[in-house]
Amino acid sequence: MRLRGTSVLLLIACTLEVGAAQEAQKSQSPASESAVYFPTGLIDSSEFFSGFLRSIDEPSLVAAARDRSATMYRWETLTGQSGQMLAVRLTVKPDGSGMVVTTRVARHGDAPVITKREVSREDVEHFAQVVEDSGFWPAEGRGPKRREGKTSYVLDAGPEILEGVRGGMYHAVERRGHGDRFAEVVRCLAVELGGIEDVEGPPPR
């Protein structure tokens, strides 16, 4: 009887652990038809980019913001005149290191090419400082903030999108060109962390 009792306890413990793990992974699970990628009415090109992100099974960062411990950044764009679609996502791990997932679609209808790259805690900290220096996150007292357990949404306004999740807040910038104050954030995410060599930079002056 003792053996049977021990087996039951182990089964219950394993079930609880699996349930907790599944709950923690919900915000990063593959996309579904009902996934919401951008707050309603805040991004002009939301339908276009939502379709792209859904087609490559990218997670919703809006949903990820429900987890206050989650820190994620993603840049998605239609690059140059080639028509290539690109998404680069950084997910910060509990130990401070990160995983960068890059997805390319050369032309409409082509199969996506996905690469994954581990980055160190030092690299993540450097990127976090670049984000802070850019003013990506609204200063305290400026713009909507998370309160009473609800997620706040903040948007600057333009055709490629830079998203971020931190401390339960979701922030998105719809960029109008390469010469803005977020150009270094995109370069650091895509080139330094993602290892991409052909990202378009600011135009020469």
Q: Which residue has the higher pLDDT, 55 or 18?
A: 55
Do residues 120 and 97 touch, judged by C-beta distance below 8 A? yes
> What is the pLDDT of the chain when averaged over all its residues?
76
Do residues 104 and 88 touch, judged by C-beta distance below 8 A? no
Give pLDDT, residue 197.
80
What H or E segment, with its residue span, contains residue 162? strand 160-166
CA distance 162 to 156: 10
Q: What is the pLDDT of residues 62-103, one digit of tens each?
A: 999 999 999 999 999 987 666 788 999 999 999 999 999 999
CATH number of 31-193: 3.30.1560
Entry pTM = 0.74
Domain ranges for the chain: 1-29, 31-193
Give pLDDT, residue 74.
98
CA distance 182 to 195: 18
Do residues 117 and 100 touch, judged by C-beta distance below 8 A? yes
Helix then strand then coil, % of the chain, to nearest 5: 30, 25, 45
Q: How confident is the model at residue 138 (pLDDT cuts 50, 70, 90)?
A: confident
pLDDT higher than 70, residue 57:
yes
Give pLDDT, residue 144.
40
Q: Which residue has the higher pLDDT, 102 or 178?
A: 102
For residues 37-63, give the mean pLDDT: 91
